[in-house]
């Protein structure tokens, strides 16, 4: 697909990326390019390296890049701190959002939003202006104002945590969003809310990577490309119908690709 002519420069280029944790190789040469306006889905069994790929792009300190590079708007970001990546427009939606006791969600969102705004040379928002902004964004994920006064993710239900992730994405307006199993643990209504939120936030200038096991999210948000990962590699790339085929035939079907390669 990378051979196709594109009108603009890519947002994200992952080139032949290998990475390990505790000397255990997890990624074994992954390449992936995302252009503005594109939606990519990454599918694969548990433990195939999908989540690791997303964490490495976001800069998780537990993984070592052993080979290859990650480029964001053409710049190598291998050595950037996670906060620098976030500020410059990379967003990771967590599969299991972390609870931070005692830290108010509102203050967390404000500090986070201001860090991104500062990077963009936009004025930082005080509590009052931020309240206005966040009110508007709460609509997107249909969250109640009361969520803001609670501690970050603490005591949130699974669905509330995921919506809180999408709220953060809405506030940070990233250039690329990697959503790691944002659909898992959601009932149908919550899934629709989350999916419509993602659609509202994304536009022709942004890229999205959806990491998922299920077709149902892809029914709501149609990807341009579907990648299948296995044992730290992308073993097949296709268009959106690949996901349907995968749903029908199961991952065992993809095992054959490994044999072929």
Under rule CB under 8 A, residue 76 binds other proteins: no
Half-sphere exposure (Cβ direction) of 217: Cα atoms closer than 13 Å:
29
- Nearer to other proteins (CB atom), residue 105 or residue 254: 105
The CA-atom distances, in angstroms, between 15 and each of 19, 79, 138 are: 12, 15, 36
Shortest approach of other proteins to residue 173 CB, angstroms?
12
Angle at 58 between CA 227 and CA 13, to 5 degrees: 50
Binding residue count for other proteins, defined by CB under 8 A: 29
Under rule CB under 8 A, residue 65 binds other proteins: no
The pair phi, psi for residue 75, each rounded to 5°, is -100, 135
Q: According to CB under 8 A, which one of 5, 61, 121, 260 is a site residue for other proteins? A: 61
3-class SS of residue 77: coil
- Nearer to other proteins (CB atom), residue 79 or residue 261: 79
Window 77-116: contact mask with other proteins (x via CB under 8 A): ----xxx-xxx----x-x--xx-xxxx---xx--xx--xx
Cα–Cα distance, 37 to 96 (Å, whole number): 26
Q: According to CB under 8 A, which one of 12, 70, 172, 217 is a site residue for other proteins? A: 172
Under rule CB under 8 A, residue 155 binds other proteins: no
Under rule CB under 8 A, residue 29 binds other proteins: no
Asked if 70 contacts 57 with a C-beta cutoff of 8 angstroms, the reply is yes
Cα–Cα distance, 13 to 75 (Å, whole number): 9
- Nearer to other proteins (CB atom), residue 116 or residue 236: 116
Write out the binding residues for other proteins, residues 110-149 only, by CB under 8 A.
111-112, 115-116, 119
The CA-atom distances, in angstroms, between 206 and each of 17, 85, 166, 199 are: 22, 15, 15, 11
Binding footprint of other proteins on the chain (CB under 8 A): 58-62, 81-83, 85-87, 92, 94, 97-98, 100-103, 107-108, 111-112, 115-116, 119, 151, 168, 172
């Amino acid at each position: 697909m990378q051979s196709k002519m594109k009108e603009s420069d890519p947002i994200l280029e992952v080139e032949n990326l290998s990475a390990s944790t505790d000397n255990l190789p997890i990624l074994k040469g992954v390449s992936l390019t995302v252009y503005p306006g594109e939606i990519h889905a990454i599918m694969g069994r548990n433990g195939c390296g999908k989540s690791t790929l997303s964490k490495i792009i976001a800069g998780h300190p537990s993984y070592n890049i052993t080979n290859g590079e990650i480029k964001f708007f053409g710049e190598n970001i291998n050595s950037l701190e996670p906060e620098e990546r976030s500020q410059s427009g990379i967003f990771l939606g967590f599969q299991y959002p972390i609870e931070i006791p005692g830290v108010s969600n509102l203050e967390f969102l404000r500090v986070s939003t201001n860090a991104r705004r500062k990077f963009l040379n936009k004025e930082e928002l005080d509590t009052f202006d931020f309240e206005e902004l966040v009110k508007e964004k709460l609509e997107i994920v249909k969250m109640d104002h009361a969520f803001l006064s609670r501690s970050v993710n603490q005591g949130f239900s699974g669905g509330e945590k995921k919506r809180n992730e999408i709220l953060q994405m809405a506030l940070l307006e990233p250039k690329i969003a990697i959503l790691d199993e944002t659909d898992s643990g959601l009932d149908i209504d919550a899934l629709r809310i989350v999916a419509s939120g993602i659609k509202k936030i994304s536009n022709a200038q942004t890229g999205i990577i959806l990491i998922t096991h299920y077709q149902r999210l892809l029914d709501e948000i149609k990807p341009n490309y579907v990648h299948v990962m296995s044992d730290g590699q992308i073993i097949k790339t296709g268009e959106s119908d690949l996901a349907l085929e995968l749903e029908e035939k199961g991952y065992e079907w993809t095992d054959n690709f490994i044999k072929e390669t």
